[in-house]
Chain A
Amino acid sequence: EDQVTQSPEALRLQEGESSSLNCSYTVSGLRGLFWYRQDPGKGPEFLFTLYSAGEEKEKERLKATLTKKESFLHITAPKPEDSATYLCAVQLQGGSEKLVFGKGTKLTVNP
């Protein structure tokens, strides 16, 4: 069965304290891996798509990386406004467009 596991479930950081979120996956074949940010009561906001091992993408304080088994979302010098739930999703090979989501990591950045 295709699975996406995110860790930790929740993470508290002080402003400026860098850290990483993990998304590990067990799938029959990976077409792409997606990162989203979700604020309470809102829909997910697209951050990154990664397609091949070794690929990296950056946006402001966020950097996403991909290996054959997992992806990391690195947050450098976070600010309180980075507080949100970060969702990871995988898209499978075989022509299906569907995304399989992990449960997310709830990040809280304290000032």
Chain B
Amino acid sequence: GAVVSQHPSRVICKSGTSVKIECRSLDFQATTMFWYRQFPKKSLMLMATSNEGSKATYEQGVEKDKFLINHASLTLSTLTVTSAHPEDSSFYICSARDGRGMRYNEQFFGPGTRLTVL
């Protein structure tokens, strides 16, 4: 149980284009989803927290107009990197929290999406 998927796993795009990444909880309903970014040999950095049906809460320094987050249902959240530039190249990982039962406080991570902007 507690499986989270991400799609695509890898994406290469040209500078200036937008890229959408999907995060799905496959066997549970996620009350909260989180989006992280990870640079090589660095910690995971939280970008934003989203609750189903409400606006995402962004961490300080994260541009909300550049990283659009939609949490349309209890099993799906999307991250859209708008007008991507090479400095946006990174490993993006989502996590989902059940919020109920014994696993109420545990975050389960997706496999990640490697974004390369040329």
Chain A residues with a Cβ under 8 A of chain B: 4, 32, 34, 36, 41-46, 49, 87, 89, 91, 97-104
Contact = CB atoms under 8 A, between A and B. Distances in A.
A49 B105 contact: yes
B7 interface: no
Contacts of A91: 105
- Top 4 nearest A-B pairs (CB, nearest first) are A43-B109, A101-B43, A101-B44, A44-B109
Q: Which of B44, B112, B114 has the most CB of A within 10 A?
A: B44
Contact of B43 (A41, A49, A102): A102
Given A46-B107, A98-B46, A103-B42, A41 B112 contact: yes
B43 A103 contact: yes
Q: Which of A43, A44, A87, A102 has the most CB of B within 10 A?
A: A43
Interface of B: 2, 4, 6, 32, 34, 41-46, 49, 59, 91, 93, 95, 97, 105-112, 114
A84 to B, nearest CB: 14
A97 B97 contact: yes
25 contacts: A34-B107, A42-B111, A42-B112, A43-B4, A43-B93, A43-B95, A44-B95, A46-B2, A46-B107, A46-B108, A46-B109, A87-B43, A91-B105, A97-B34, A97-B97, A98-B34, A98-B49, A98-B59, A99-B46, A99-B107, A100-B46, A101-B43, A101-B44, A102-B43, A103-B43
A44 B108 CA distance: 8
